[in-house]
Amino acid sequence: MNMKKWLATVLACSAVALSGCGGNSSNQTAAPAPASDAASAPVAEAKVLRVGMNAEFPPFESQDAQGQVHGFDVDLLNALAKEGGFQVEFKNQPWDSLFNSLKNGDVDVLASAVTITEERMQSMAFTDPYFQISQVVLVQGDKNIASVEDLKNLSRVGVVTGNTGDLAAGKILGATNPKIARFENLPLLLKELENGGLEAAISDSSVVMEFIKNNSGKSFSMIEIPDFDTENYGLAVRKDDAATLDMLNKALAAIRANGEYDRIHSQYFAKPAAPAAASEAAASEAK
């Protein structure tokens, strides 16, 4: 190889080498940029509250064919969660299992039209009241019931076991009086009244009004008796769970102030929301 060819070969190889070192940007994969401190920091997860309810008490809570819970209490808890920056998981279960479920830590909150009472406040804590009701008598046909004395003359009065109506009937007739027919849930109670197996049923005013509204073609009527006390519903938490109680109360106050509570209330009830009394003053009966 003569000198000219040798030099040409050396120059050509040098050019190829330089080209390879420089690289071609269209064929290279850029190295990922190091993650910033903000991106690499763990994202705090929202607190999840497990909410126990007995979804057999419309319009406060009920369950559809797909197993989804709906109602005033459900919408209220969702609004509280949005306002307070936490999440909720609903657990539908029998009424008579709710309080043990809270005590044992299976749920964190009870939202099931639970009346605030002095007795219950011994074993659990309640939020500020969120709804006010009274007990009423539901009858089919034209029964003349104007007082507790008239109730005493009936042969069979139905209640849901452990609800306020049960305690009210027990005070009037005596807790062990065979005239009191106790049922596991509200649908069973209302069905027995409809079938003529009861002369009257005692339950919460808003629930009875909802039942009459949905059965307008039948001869049901609601009778208000002045002997029954006003009651207040509250959300129940364990007595040692001050953080959850404070979080719920702050969120409840906020949605009352911004109008969200009234908006939810108007979806379920025709009358404006009645002002709720303080928890301690309201404690008189049980759901």
CA 242 to chain centre: 19
pTM: 0.75
**Strand, coil or helix: what is 20?**
helix
Give me the domains of the chain, ranges plus CATH numbers.
48-130+234-268 (3.40.190.10), 133-231 (3.40.190.10)
pLDDT in tens, the chain (287 residues): 544 444 444 444 444 343 333 333 333 333 444 444 444 455 557 899 999 999 999 999 999 999 999 999 999 999 999 999 999 999 999 999 999 999 999 999 999 999 998 989 999 999 999 999 999 999 988 788 888 888 899 999 999 998 889 989 998 899 999 999 999 999 999 999 999 999 999 999 999 999 999 988 788 999 998 888 899 999 999 999 999 999 999 999 999 999 999 999 999 997 666 655 544 444 444 45
Instruction: Dig out the tokens for 149 from the structure.
Output: 């004395």
The pLDDT of residue 275: 58
The pLDDT of residue 146: 83
Whether the Cβ atoms of residue 55 and residue 95 lie closer than 8 Å to each other: no
The pLDDT of residue 73: 98
Burial 233-254 (b: 16+ CB within 10 A, else e): bbbbbbeebeebbebbbebbee
**Distance between CA atoms of residues 233 and 281, nearest Å:** 12
Burial 59-89 (b: 16+ CB within 10 A, else e): bbbbbeeeeebbbbbbbbbebbbebbebebe
Helix%, strand%, coil% for the chain, nearest 5:
40, 20, 40
Kindly report each contact of residues 208-216 with a partner whose C-beta sits within 8 Å and lies 24 or more positions away, as own/partner. Answer: 208/136, 208/138, 210/58, 210/59, 211/58, 211/138, 212/138
**Distance between CA atoms of residues 119 and 129, nearest Å:** 16
The pLDDT of residue 216: 83
The pLDDT of residue 228: 87
H helix intervals, the chain: 3-22, 37-40, 72-84, 98-103, 148-152, 164-173, 186-194, 205-214, 242-257, 260-268, 279-282
